[in-house]
Structure 1
C-alpha cells in the first residue's frame, strides 16, 4: 500500500494535519484556477439542481438544510431503495417547499431499487448521499465520475476496500475542483472550531490522553414483517447488519473518534479493545455488539480511551475530554467547549447562544463554496476517521491488537457487488433465525 494511505504509521507534521483539517472543516477554501464547468454557479441567481439518494430522516433533513442554505437550490430528483420511504420524504418536504420553485420532482424523477441512484445523480449538479453507509463508496464514486458536487453522510464505508475506493474517488474529486462535504458536523460547529484554534495555538500544550464517549440507550429496531424476503428485512433493519451499518462504533461513535484524530493531529497507529452483546441480544438485533471499549494509540504517544454503548437504563454520555501538558479540554455536541488549566482555572468557556446549527452550517458552507468557485475537500478526513472506527471494530471483534496498515490493507469485503432484490444477503440467519455474532479469539 502506498504510504499516502498509511499515515498512522509515520509521524505527520501537526502543521500539515491542521492545515488539512481546517480546509476540510470549511475553515478555508482551496482556491485554484477552475474550469468553466466548476465555476458556472458563481452568480447567486443560477439554479443548482439537487438530487438526494437515501430518503430517510437524515436524507430528508439534509435536503431541508440544502434548500435553506441557498434559495437558488432546486430539488429535482429523489432515489431510495423503498418507494414508501421516498414518498414519505417527498410529502414532508412538500409541506414546506411544495409551493416554491425550490422543489420540482416530477414522477419520472423518483427512482427506487438498488440502481436508482444513478438516474437521480445524472439529473443533478449537487447530490446528497444518505443511504446506509455500506453503499456510500459506490454512490460517491459514481457521483464524482459524473462531475457532481457532493454532501455525503458519515461514515463513508463499512469496510477497508470501501475506504480505499472513497479515498481514490476523493482524489479525483479534488483534482476536478469538486466540493465534497462529509457529515462529521463537529468540524462545522463553533465550539469545536474555537477549541481547535486554541489547540493549534498551543494553549493546551501537547495532548497526551483523552476519553471519548457515545453511551446511550440505543436506536430504533424494525421488526420483521410477514412475507418479507431476507434482503428486504435486512435493508429495513439495516442498523444491525455490518455490511450495511458497520456496527455502532462506526455509524455513531465515529463522531467522537474523529474529534480525537482532529484535535491530536494524527491518526492512530494501533487499536486494542473489547466488546460484546449483553443486553441487546435478540434476533432483531442482527449481529452487532451493544458495547465497545477501545484504546487507540497515536504515533506521538497519546492514548485515547474510546467507549460506546447501546444499553437502555444505563448512563448516557456523549462527549470528549482531552488532557494536555498545559490544560484539559471538554467538548460535546451541544455547545460545550471548556478549557481549564492544570490548576483548574477556566481559560475558555464557549458561549454558544448565537451559534448556527452545525447541520445547517455544513450546507451553508458547501453552497457558498460552490457559488464562489472554491473547493471544500472533506473526503480524506472522512475516510480516515471511518478507517479508525473500523480498526476499533476489528480490535473488539478479534481481541487482537490491530495496526493502521493491517486495517487499511484489509481485503475483507462486506458489501457484495451488483445487488438486487433477488440477491442473497452476505449474512444469513441459522435455522433458529439467529445471525452469526463476532467472537473474540475465534476470528482472524
Structure 2
C-alpha cells in the first residue's frame, strides 16, 4: 500500500504542473538555441536584457522560466534561483542550463536555498527593469510578492494565488501598490491569452449563441492519493513536498486543478458570481490521508441568475472528462478541451456532438503559456500598463467561495468573501526547523473538512 500511495503522490505532482518543464523540454529546445542566436545579434551592444529570478524551482516554475527565456520579444537572462530544497534547485538549474546555455547565468553564489532564499534572489534584480518568477506554493505567494513590490521589481505570479480569503486580499492590496509604482505583474491564468478563446468571447459578446443560460465545467480523472506521514523527517518539509494534498500550502487539489475553468466561467459571463453552493465527498474506505475530498460539485449563481456548474471528480475506473461548455438561447458552444486545449467551437443547436459544429476559430499560432510571457516582457520593455492581479485574485476568491460552500455545507455569498480575512496559516516566515501548521493524527492522517463543523472564511 505504501508503494502504491507513493506512486499516486508522484502521479498527482506530475499531473498538477501544467507548465511541467521536462515534458516540454524537447519542444522548447528546438526554438531556444535559434532564438538566442537571433537575439544576441539583434540586441548586440544594447543593455535591454531583462534579468529574471526564479523563486520556486519545481516543474511549474522551471516551465515558466523556459517560457520567459524562449520569448523573442527581446533578450532575457536567468540570473538567480531560489527554492527551499537544494535538489529541486539543482535539477532545475541543470535542465534550464542545458536548454538555454547562453541565457542561464546562475553561478553557485546566486543559487539560494531555504525559506529566506526568495529575498536573496530578488535582491539580485534591478528595480523597474527585471522580473521575479514566483512559482512556489500558494501559501508563500503574498509574502514573496510583498518583498518584490517593496523592492520595485516586476513579477510573474503563478496560480493559485493564495489558499484563503486573507491571503487573497493581500494579493489584491499588493496589486494596487504595484500599480502605484508602475510595476508590471503577470498572473498565471494563461487561458485569457488563448487566441481561440478570445475569438469565442467575441462571438459570445456579439450574440452569436444568444443570451448565456448555463455554463458547465468538468475535470474528472483518477486523481491521486497520499499515504500517511510516518516521520521522522520534518513534517513541515514533508508537507511542502506534497502541496496539493494540503489546503494551507497550496489551496489543495480542487483549486489547483479547477481554477482555470472557474476563470473561464467568469470570463464567459464577464461577471463575478454572487453565491455558491455545492456537494462533495470522499470515497468509502479511502486510504487517502490527505485533506482532499474526491468529488466537488459547485453551483455558482451570477447576478442575472445564470448558473455555472463546476464539477471535479478524482476516482479511478470512472468516466473522465476535461472541458468547459456554454449554452445560450440560440445554441451551445465548447469553450475549452482536454488539458486546457483550445478546443473551441459553436454548435448549430444545443447538441454538443462533432457532426453538429457550426463555427470554429483559426488554429492558434502560439501557445497561451508563451503569449502571457511575451505580453508581460513587452510591457516591461515598452513601459505599458500591465497588471493582471485584480482579475486573478477575484478568480481565486470565486474558487475559494465554491470550495468553502462544500467544505462548510452552506451557501456562501460574494459579500462574505469580500469581507473575510480568514487565514489557515497567518505567518509563513518559517525556518527549516519550524513545526508544521498542521499535524497528523496517530495514524499519520490529516483532517478533512466536515460540513457543519469546518470554517474557512
- The TM tier, using the shorter chain, reads 0.7 to 0.9
Does 2:202 correspond to 1:197? yes
Deviation at 1:220, TM superposition (A): 7.8
- Please state how far the C-alpha of 1:262 moved relative to its aligned partner: 0.6
**1-structure distance, mates of 2:177, 2:422:** 24
Residue 67 in structure 1 maps to residue 81 in structure 2: no
Report the Cα distance in structure 1 between the residues aligned to 2:375 and 2:421, rounded to whole angstroms: 36
Q: CA deviation at 1:221?
A: 5.3
* 1:288 and 2:295 correspond: no
In structure 2, list runs of 5 or more residues that go unmatched: 1-42
- CA positional deviation for 1:202: 2.4
RMSD over aligned Cα, in angstroms? Answer: 2.1
> 1:280 and 1:404, CA in 2 relative to 1: closer, same or farther beyond 3 A?
farther
What SS does structure 2 have at the residue aligned with 1:253? helix
Secondary structure of the equivalent of 1:243? helix
Q: Does 1:314 align with 2:315?
A: no
Matched, 1:380 2:390: yes
From 329, 338, 341, the counterpart of 1:334? 341
Structure 2 CA distance for aligned equivalents of residues 80 and 112 of structure 1: 5
- Trace 1:296-311 onto structure 2 (pairs within 5 A): 296-311=300-315
Q: TM-score, normalised by structure 2?
A: 0.83
Q: CA deviation at 1:201?
A: 2.1
Q: Name structure 1 gaps, 5 residues minimum.
A: 1-40
Written as runs of structure 1 = structure 2, the 5 A alignment for 1:242-261 is 242-261=247-266
Structure-2 change in CA distance of 1:76 and 1:155 (3 Å) = same
Cα deviation code 1:302-327 (max 9, x no counterpart): 11111012222222211111111232
Question: How far apart in 2 are the matches of 1:139 and 1:281?
Answer: 36
Within 5 Å, give how 1:2-13 maps onto structure 2. none
Residue 269 of structure 1 corresponds to 274
Is the 8 Å Cα contact of residues 222 and 237 (structure 1) preserved in structure 2? no
C-alpha contact 1:223 1:237 (8 A) present in aligned 2 = no
Displacement of 1:119 in angstroms is 1.1
Q: How far apart are the structure 2 equivalents of 1:411 and 1:368?
A: 35
Following the alignment from structure 2 to structure 1, what is the Cα–Cα distance between the partners of residues 234 and 393? 32
Secondary structure (helix, strand or coil) at the match of 2:247 reads coil
- Provide the rounded CA distance (Å) in 2 between the counterparts of 1:421 and 1:409: 34
Q: Which structure is richer in relative contact order (CA contacts within 8 A, separation 6 or more)?
A: 1
Matched, 1:81 2:84: yes
Q: How big is the shift at 1:343?
A: 6.8
In 2, distance between residues paired with 1:364 and 1:221?
A: 37
Is residue 361 of structure 2 the alignment partner of residue 350 of structure 1?
A: yes
Whether 1:390 aligns to 2:400 is yes
Other structure's SS at 1:304 match:
strand
Contact 2:228 2:443 (8 Å CA) reproduced: no
Cα displacement (A) at 1:432: 1.7
Question: Is 1:399 matched up with 2:409?
Answer: yes
User: What do residues 91-126 of structure 1 show as CA deviations (whole Å, max 9, x unaligned)?
Assistant: 11111123x1x1111111111111111111121210
**Is 1:338–1:346's contact at 8 Å kept on the other side of the alignment?**
yes
Kindly provide the CA deviation profile for residues 344-382 of structure 1, in whole angstroms up to 9, marking residues without a partner as x.
Answer: 664421342x53111111111111221222122210111
CA distance in 2, matches of 1:94, 1:279: 47
Secondary structure (helix, strand or coil) at the match of 1:307 reads strand
The answer to whether the aligner puts 1:323 opposite 2:327 as a matched pair is: yes
Contact 1:188 1:361 in 2 (8 A): yes
Number of residue pairs the alignment of both structures matches:
399
